[in-house]
Amino acid sequence: MKPAPFDYFAPGTADEALALLDEHGDTAKPLAGGQSLIPAMNFRLARPQVLVDLNRAADLSYIRSEEAGLAVGAMTRQRAVERSDLVARAAPLLAEAMPWIAHPQIRNRGTVGGSLAHADPSAELPAVALALEARFRARSAAGERSMAVADFFKGMLETALQPGELLVEVVLPALPPRTGTAFLEVARRHGDYALVGVAVVVTLDAKGRCRAARIACLSVGDGPVLANEAGKVLKDQGRSDDLLRAAADAAANRDVDPPSDIHASAAYRRRLVAVLTRRALGRAFERAEKGSGEQGAVRSG
Amino acid sequence: MTAIELTVNGDAVRRSIEPRLLLSDFLRNDLGLTGTHVGCEHGVCGACTVLLDGEAVRSCLMFAVQADGHGVTTVEGLSDGVALHPLQAAFHEAHGLQCGFCTPGILMTLVPFLQDHPHPDEREIREALSGNLCRCTGYQNIVAAVRLACDGASTADR
Amino acid sequence: MEPRRQIGERVRRNEDARLLTGRALFVDDVRLEGMLHVAFLRSQHAHARLVRVDATAARGRPGVVAVYTAADLGDYWRPGPLLVPPPPIAGLVFNACTQVPLARDKLRHVGEPIAMVVAESRYLAEDALDDITVDAEPLPAVVDLENALREGAPRVHEHLPSNVAAHAIQRKGDYAEAKRRAHRVIQRRFRYDRGASAAIENRAVAAQWDPRAEELTVWDTTQAPIPIRNGLAQLLGLLQSQVRVVAPFVGGGFGPKIMMYYPEEVLVPWATMRLGRPVKWTEDRQENFFATTQERGQIHDAEIAVDRDGKVLGVRDVFLHDTGAYDPYGLTVPINSQCTLLGPYEIPNYESEFTAIFTNKTIVTPVRGAGRQHGVFVIERLLDFAAKELEIDRAEIRRRNLLRRDQFPVNNEILFQDSAPLTYDSGDYEPALDQALELIDYRRFIREEQPRLRAAGRCVGIGIVCYVEGTGIGPYEGARVTVEPGGLVRLATGVGTQGQGHFTSFAQIVAEVLGVDVADVRVITGDTREFAWGTGTFASRGAVVAGSACHAAATRVREKILDLASHELKAPKEDLVLAGGKVQVRGDPARGIALGALALKANPLRGAVRPGTEPGLEATAYFGPDRGSTASGVHAMIVDVDPETAQVEIKRYVVVHDCGRVINPMIVDGQIHGGVAHGIGNAFYEQLVYDEEGQLLNASFMDYLLPTATDVPHVETAHRETPSPLNPIGAKGVGEAGAIPTGALFAQAVEDALGNRNGKLEICEIPLSPNRLFELIEQAR
């Protein structure tokens, strides 16, 4: 299990990286944290001829608060996100999801941008980005563009990024008031890819009714899946057990069409979507209510 | 071939290597630091865990060339060669190892963990260990060793 | 100073410091000047005719030193030996088909080696694998055990009339008659699927030929260095003394490293002799999933005949055993299943029939437990179902059937894996059951806790199972004990160590006999130059058989010490005490001599050794038990099941274990913890999933799930000591015990947890998974 040979470049900035990618075209692959790419190379399932290592591009590693929201540089280590107070305050959903990503040894190398650009449907970050309506900033030698999350994920391990184009930043818009979030997943073992996971954002109105809910599921399709039907069920409703159940049912039976694999059948995944959606919604509502300072106002629903 | 310069267990090292050389193989074969073990080469078993600038990483999921300019610590760098590191001593005391193959990676995982969490509870210890596979111990005495190491440290702190 | 008890003490391990500091030598750590590295081209097909292999391009690649195919091996190409001939069971059918070094005309499982590339580095060797072209005609694969027996099924070995590797029936009493008398007969089908041993260290072989000394040195991750040396000498036409096999520190064995003459094991030494350079092959994890032996695939159709009170009148079991593509290990695994089914119970009538079947899958040889868990699973589940039908408590039905203390030795009549009649040497089962019930607080859980938690909507359950384990079988092991003039004691023995603590437990035995510090006994294991006779570490026999040999050798050295010291100190032997590394005249502190000084006197440079004595304080001794000793235990567990997600949390795990006299309780506990973790892996996490084409679908640690620290519970252990009368220490084996009853226990506890919601739920298969449990729950609604 040794990787095939390749040419290696370690540019010091994003611009240098883009120039190299442009120069080498299809033969080149950017190397972020390498925690998915290098195993694939060790199995010789991936054999890039040229690796452009982004790990020395210091200008791609940052977490900062901007007008548009929380901006995270693509090469920011997952560990840095996990440890960031700023993330904990501004994007508690992201903070809650971080410990579910593999193990500290992986998160010490793994990057936010690497995981998003890899677009593994079982990964946590794409679903979190979907739930939070993240925007993606990409650059190429030709210029820069910004994409909505819905336009970024294109399918199994597929994104809108073009050859020679790098994801450089993800921006998580600030959450409105009276918003609660929750992340839950079921994996075979702690740190494994999820069998199913859900990332939930619930925003309440002043009366405690659900103004908007975004439920993103992972490991149930070719990419992160937004449970729109479930969101509709919740719209303008006050919290109740029946409501959460109805929303969970909608997510499981109308929003997702999960695959079967050796670890979980489609039926089992549907079940997990229902259970996790219900449980995550419960938490998110509770957190939204607490955040609103109007706890108990709409308890009975 | 690419020239690299790095610090390994405090010593400056210069070598010329192929870019595809995994850090794990570099440490074991080029530097003879065979205490870092290789169990899966796809980043699951954790046996190859070393410290990169003080943080635990899988050395099978890094190319040696990426360590250029950085500091690497392996299990060989843990003790001064005379006395065992307190964590090593605790593993000995609590029978936290059997075949010992996974042990270096587990020690290197725990060292930074214990710096961040000097007094972990059992749950935290088990989660910290969950990225390292051990087939011999059932983890129980590894957990016991960590607790012992922490108790020892806390006694010393007082 | 008084003699100190060493056996039975919690002595910390002598080997730890080397392992903890990264100084311990494992095979892959062997680095020699000019060393070459090997990669194997392996079959992608489960079953195919091999038409042509062309390695021309590979041979021309820079950095490649040699490429070998079957055609290049000449006379060296021959199938491996049958390692364990089957016991003399009347009417036995047995077809021996053993593995070949490189496939020649047929490919019989994915991963079977086709060509060997030797290159300047492993990286280059792997590059060259792409250059080799293989022309193979795929054949339909034999995967499913029942399909394998159908008329017209494709055959793994075409010279045989079918895929039957073996067929055997063993009987005790008259089951048909027992069935006629029965109040109830309960029948079920049970499945136990394949798992991997998954030692964290993969296999490795390094070899060096020294043309001047005409000596071959082989470092091998084997559990059996001496038989490897003997076999290699024979294959290579060398004297045994010209071959040195070293099994240094081995990173876990668990059975597959006892499998002998793996293809890589015979090819690497051969290549080093041809090439005149050291050669090393280290298995990678992907290869390990195909090339290292596996275990556990069986299907049982079993029935139990019980009377009104739940007394077992008899058991009948018919099972299929998957032996993989070849059967070099004979019938050890299915015979263990057959024998261990009888458990600690009085089962007067027993009829067991098995068919071992060749399939296009990796070879099956023992993996920790070695078939025993299947037998335990069948009998324990049958007892659970009988208890339910008869409305008897699960613990109670076990109690009613346990063998009593006064019944030992118990002869179960059928033949065990060592060809001797299955006989239990000693045991005391009921107190162990009571202790386990007490430790887990069984009655309170059933009466109070479970109803209370159920009322709160939780699904909690308890399980309790009993088992025996045949351990410590022959043929023999040996040991040599030498007191060196420096005062250290050297102990050499043939069995290798894979983490069991031999450096310490063997040292304790010798230290106690010679009155020295355990740390002063330096143990050398697994090096054929140091000790040349023996078999290996398997069947939970190291401590029993090699430990007894250590005891015997130390006892002889002790005699020599006493003889010489009596002469030197002019005191009768009865007055001498061995303690603190000295011989002392009792009651006279001024008269004593250090063992080192005595060793010097025993090997004088002038004068003469007294007639009738030997120089030095050294002795070699062997120990071969007539038959195995039977360890036993009771495991109990409480689980909390989330019925919505089918996730299972183990809340408590209790083990009451009896492995006779305990040499080092710390080490025994560790063995049990590890065994339980392995068992939990088998029960809920680990399954080798093959598709219909015989392709393994989860050949990585990403998808083959070893339990981690968050999956394995804290195990509470208690020891009981019923000494074995078969060896001087009174010890029984323990290495496999933890893994044996876990599947049965897990199934029972989970079933109990869901009992009030899904009363029809019956778990008759292992491994489970959340997904499978979800399906079973749905089916039982």
CA nearest to C224, candidates C556, C529, C496: C496
Q: Which of residues 99-128 of B touch C (CB under 8 A)?
A: 99-104, 107, 122, 125-127
Predicted local distance difference test score (pLDDT) of residue C459: 97
Tell me the pLDDT tens digit for each residue of C435-453: 999 999 999 999 999 999 9
Least confident of A85-89, C433-437, C624-628: C624-628
User: Could you give the count of Cα atoms lying within 13 Å of A70 in the half-sphere of its Cβ?
Assistant: 23
Tell me the pLDDT band of A37, cut-offs 50, 70 and 90. very high
B142 at C interface, C-beta within 8 A: yes
B86 at C interface, C-beta within 8 A: no
Say which residue, C287 or C470, is predicted with more confidence. C287
Tell me the pLDDT tens digit for each residue of A93-137: 999 999 999 999 999 999 999 999 999 999 999 999 999 999 999
User: For residues C733 and C711, is the Cβ–Cβ distance under 8 A?
Assistant: no
Tell me the pLDDT band of B32, cut-offs 50, 70 and 90. very high
CB A6 to CB B41 under 8 A? no
Of A190, A262, A267, the CB nearest to C703: A262
On the question of pLDDT at C102 being above 70, the answer is: yes
Question: Going along C231-381, which residue ranges are E strands?
Answer: 243-246, 279-282, 294-295, 298-306, 312-324, 349-358
Of B28, B75, B92, the CB nearest to C12: B92
- Which residues of chain A are within 8 Å of residue C769 when distances are taken between CB atoms? 188, 263
CB C200 to CB B42 under 8 A? no
Say which residue, C494 or C209, is predicted with more confidence. C209
Closest chain C residue to the Cα of B36, Cα to Cα: C22
Cis peptide before C475 (omega within 30 of 0): yes
Interface test with A, best of B66, B68, B73, B125 (most A CBs within 10 A): B66
CB A263 to CB C646 under 8 A? no
Predicted local distance difference test score (pLDDT) of residue C763: 98
Predicted local distance difference test score (pLDDT) of residue C15: 95
Tell me the pLDDT band of C473, cut-offs 50, 70 and 90. confident
In percent, how much of chain A has pLDDT > 90? 96
- Which residues of chain A are within 8 Å of residue B57 when distances are taken between CB atoms? 105, 108-109
Least confident of C144-158, C606-620, C741-755: C606-620
Q: Which of residues 29-68 of A touch B (CB under 8 A)?
A: 34-35, 38-39, 42-43, 51, 53, 55
Predicted local distance difference test score (pLDDT) of residue C373: 97
Predicted local distance difference test score (pLDDT) of residue B155: 40
- Which residues of chain A are within 8 Å of residue C119 when distances are taken between CB atoms? none
Of C29, C249, C715, the CB nearest to B100: C249
Chains that touch B (3 or more CB pairs under 8 A): A, C
CB B57 to CB A105 under 8 A? yes
Q: Which of residues 87-116 of A touch B (CB under 8 A)?
A: 99, 102-106, 108-109
CB A8 to CB B25 under 8 A? no
Interface B–C counts its CB contacts (< 8 A) at 179
User: For residues C423 and C342, is the Cβ–Cβ distance under 8 A?
Assistant: no
Predicted local distance difference test score (pLDDT) of residue C417: 85
Predicted local distance difference test score (pLDDT) of residue A294: 36
Of B55, B61, B130, the CB nearest to A191: B130
CB A42 to CB B60 under 8 A? yes
- The reported pTM is 0.96
C710 at A interface, C-beta within 8 A: yes
- Which residues of chain B are within 8 Å of residue A39 when distances are taken between CB atoms? 41-43, 61
Predicted local distance difference test score (pLDDT) of residue C1: 64
C408 at B interface, C-beta within 8 A: no
**What's the CA gap between C183 and C185, in Å, rounded?**
7
On the question of pLDDT at C331 being above 70, the answer is: yes
- Which residues of chain B are within 8 Å of residue C673 when distances are taken between CB atoms? 137-141
On the question of pLDDT at C780 being above 80, the answer is: yes
**What's the CA gap between C362 and C331, in Å, rounded?**
16
> Which own/partner contact pairs does A24-27 have at CB distance under 8 Å and 24+ positions apart?
A24/A49, A24/A50, A24/A52, A25/A163, A25/A164, A26/A163
Of A1, A275, A276, the CB nearest to C286: A1
On the question of pLDDT at C732 being above 90, the answer is: yes
Tell me the mean pLDDT in the region C279-291: 98
Reported as type and span, the H/E element at residue C429 is: helix C429-440
CB C702 to CB B104 under 8 A? no
Q: Which of residues 159-198 of C touch B (CB under 8 A)?
A: 198
For all residues of chain C together, what is the average pLDDT?
96
CA nearest to C434, candidates C720, C176, C722, C771: C720
Tell me the pLDDT tens digit for each residue of A136-190: 999 999 999 999 999 999 999 999 999 999 999 999 999 999 999 999 999 999 9
Tell me the pLDDT tens digit for each residue of C402-442: 999 999 999 999 998 888 899 999 999 999 999 999 999 99
Dihedral of alpha carbons C368, C370, C371, C376, sign: negative
Closest chain C residue to the Cα of B97, Cα to Cα: C16
Least confident of A225-239, C337-351, C730-744: C730-744
Predicted local distance difference test score (pLDDT) of residue B61: 98
Of B101, B129, B131, the CB nearest to C201: B101
Tell me the mean pLDDT in the region C727-749: 94
CB B41 to CB A39 under 8 A? yes
Of C123, C670, C714, the CB nearest to B137: C670
**What's the CA gap between C427 and A148, in Å, rounded?**
71
- Which residues of chain C are within 8 Å of residue B41 when distances are taken between CB atoms? 284-285
- Which residues of chain B are within 8 Å of residue C287 when distances are taken between CB atoms? none
SS3 assignment for chain A:
CCCCCCEEECCCCHHHHHHHHHHHHHHEEEECCCCCHHHHHHCCCCCCCEEEEHHHCHHHCCEEEECCEEEEECCCEHHHHHHCHHHHHHCHHHHHHHHHCCCHHHHCCCEHHHHHHHCCCCCHHHHHHHHCCCEEEEEECCEEEEEEHHHHEEECCEECCCCCCEEEEEEECCCCCCEEEEEEEEECCCCCCEEEEEEEEEEECCCCEEEEEEEEEECCCCCCEECHHHHHHHCCCECCHHHHHHHHHHHHHHHCCCCCCCCCCHHHHHHHHHHHHHHHHHHHHHHHHHHHCCCCCCCCC
CB B99 to CB C498 under 8 A? yes
Interface A–C counts its CB contacts (< 8 A) at 63
Tell me the pLDDT band of A300, cut-offs 50, 70 and 90. very low
Distance from CA of C244 to the nearest CA of A (A): 29
Tell me the pLDDT tens digit for each residue of C577-622: 999 999 999 999 899 999 999 999 999 888 878 888 889 999 999 9
Distance from CA of A66 to the nearest CA of C (A): 38
On the question of pLDDT at C488 being above 90, the answer is: yes
**What's the CA gap between C431 and C630, in Å, rounded?**
16
CB A53 to CB B66 under 8 A? yes
Say which residue, C756 or C77, is predicted with more confidence. C77
Tell me the pLDDT tens digit for each residue of A222-266: 999 999 999 999 999 999 999 999 999 999 999 999 999 999 999
Tell me the mean pLDDT in the region A56-66: 97
On the question of pLDDT at B10 being above 60, the answer is: yes
CB B109 to CB A104 under 8 A? yes
In percent, how much of chain C has pLDDT > 90? 92
Say which residue, C566 or C538, is predicted with more confidence. C566
Distance from CA of C520 to the nearest CA of A (A): 40
C24 at B interface, C-beta within 8 A: yes
C212 at B interface, C-beta within 8 A: no
On the question of pLDDT at C571 being above 50, the answer is: yes
Predicted local distance difference test score (pLDDT) of residue C2: 73
On the question of pLDDT at A280 being above 80, the answer is: yes
Tell me the mean pLDDT in the region C140-169: 98
Of A2, A263, A267, the CB nearest to C123: A2
C674 at B interface, C-beta within 8 A: yes
Closest chain A residue to the Cα of B64, Cα to Cα: A8
CB B131 to CB A4 under 8 A? no
Tell me the pLDDT tens digit for each residue of C18-53: 999 999 999 999 999 999 999 999 999 999 999 999
Tell me the mean pLDDT in the region C348-356: 98
On the question of pLDDT at C285 being above 90, the answer is: yes
Distance from CA of A53 to the nearest CA of B (A): 8
On the question of pLDDT at A299 being above 60, the answer is: no
